Amino acid sequence: MKKIAIAFLFLFGLSQFTAQEEESKKFRFGLKGDAAVGWLAPDDERRFSSAGVGLGLGWGLQMEFRLGKTTSFATGLNLESFSAKLNYADDALAAYKPTYYMLNDFQYVQWDELNTPIDSTQGDLYQLKQRKYTINYVNLPFILKMKTKEIGYFTYFGEFGGVIGFKTKARVDDVSDRIDTTANAFTVDVANFPGLDDLDLAKGTQPIRVGIRVGGGAEYNISGSTSLFFSLHYNYFITNALTRSQSEDFLRSYDPTTGEFSAVGAKAIPGSVALTVGVLF
């Protein structure tokens, strides 16, 4: 009888442990790292063009809440750098106009009015030819994750959802010519002026980014509920990354006939393809 009681207690404890383990799998968390190829698609393709992709890196936390046997809600928090380039001097475009800005001690000078004459005491005038953007975000994803049953040691999944990003920093590397404004017509003083790297452009970029994410990947079970995972996903953002023309403080186009400057709105929609690798517990 005593042996039966001991066996019963052992089986009862084992069943409780198994139940607790299953219960614990309703919530999982882990760490992840990201590498993404990003680009900017100009809204006005007659005036601006993409100048190529950039590489961004990120890392963060991932949390998953099980909704059913094969579905989970995934969220978390990650820090990401987005990088891409725009061409501001593509003279092959139908509506191309030169784009200018002013610098004073490598700081962008704000134009107080649209038609302000050039004042050399405020800074030096530059014609912008190409700009590489590097924008840092804190991202909050809201993802529906649909998984297969375990096949061998692998579980495959698809993802769909949204992501919202909050800008923390924006820097640019410019390729620009310094302009001599002493003559009646603008002439190039120094072509490809050196040192126009890592310039602060927080006011020239939008504070929030919203997008849609779709992708898929696989988990490899190591032990228990601990798994390595990787995924490849496409991010389609629906918000402009840059400041609208109505709020543009720095960039101006010039009309030599009237001698007037007008605000430049280089609206561009970002996109990226990202590879994520991490571990879930």
- The domain spans of the chain are 26-280
The share of the chain scoring above pLDDT 90, in percent, equals: 73
Counting every residue written for the chain, the total comes to 281
Nearest residue to 215 (alpha-carbon basis) of 235, 197, 239: 235
Backbone angles phi, psi at 89, to 5 degrees: -135, 45
Q: How confident is the model at residue 244 (pLDDT cuts 50, 70, 90)?
A: confident
Residue 112 has pLDDT above 80, yes or no: no
The three-point CA angle 181-184-186 to 5° equals: 45
pLDDT at 117 (0 to 100): 66
Residue 2 has pLDDT above 90, yes or no: no
Mean pLDDT, residues 5-26 taken together: 43
Q: Which residues pair with 175 in a beta bridge?
A: 130
Q: Could you read off the pLDDT of 51-102 as tens digits, one per residue?
A: 999 999 999 999 999 999 899 999 999 999 999 999 999 999 999 999 999 9
User: In this predicted structure, what is the pLDDT of residue 23?
Assistant: 45
Q: How far, in Å, CA of 93 to CA of 167, rounded?
A: 31
- CATH 2.40.160.20 is the classification of domain 26-280: yes
CA angle 118, 207, 171 (to 5 degrees): 60
Q: What is the Cα–Cα distance from 164 to 139, expressed in whole angstroms?
A: 6
Question: Mind spelling out the 3-state secondary structure of 133-176?
Answer: EEEEEEEEEEEEEEECCCECCEEEEEEEEEEEEEEEEEEEEEEE
Average pLDDT, the chain: 89
Beta strands in the chain (DSSP E): 27-42, 49-66, 71-87, 99-104, 107-108, 124-147, 154-180, 187-190, 199-200, 208-223, 226-237, 252-255, 260-263, 268-280
The closest of 89, 63, 111 to 177, measured between CA atoms, is: 89
**Residue 3 pLDDT > 70:** no
Using alpha carbons only, what angle is made at residue 75 by residues 22 and 139, rounded to the nearest 5 degrees?
A: 160
Query: 27-31, 82-86, 172-176, 250-254: which has the minimum mean pLDDT?
Result: 250-254
Residues 6 or more apart in contact with residue 65 via CB below 8 angstroms: 26, 27, 72, 73, 74, 75
Confidence category of residue 7, pLDDT binned at 50, 70, 90: very low
- Report the C-alpha gap between 59 and 274 in whole angstroms: 12
Cα distances from 143 to residues 68, 69, 124, 214, 269, in angstroms, run 15, 16, 48, 9, 21
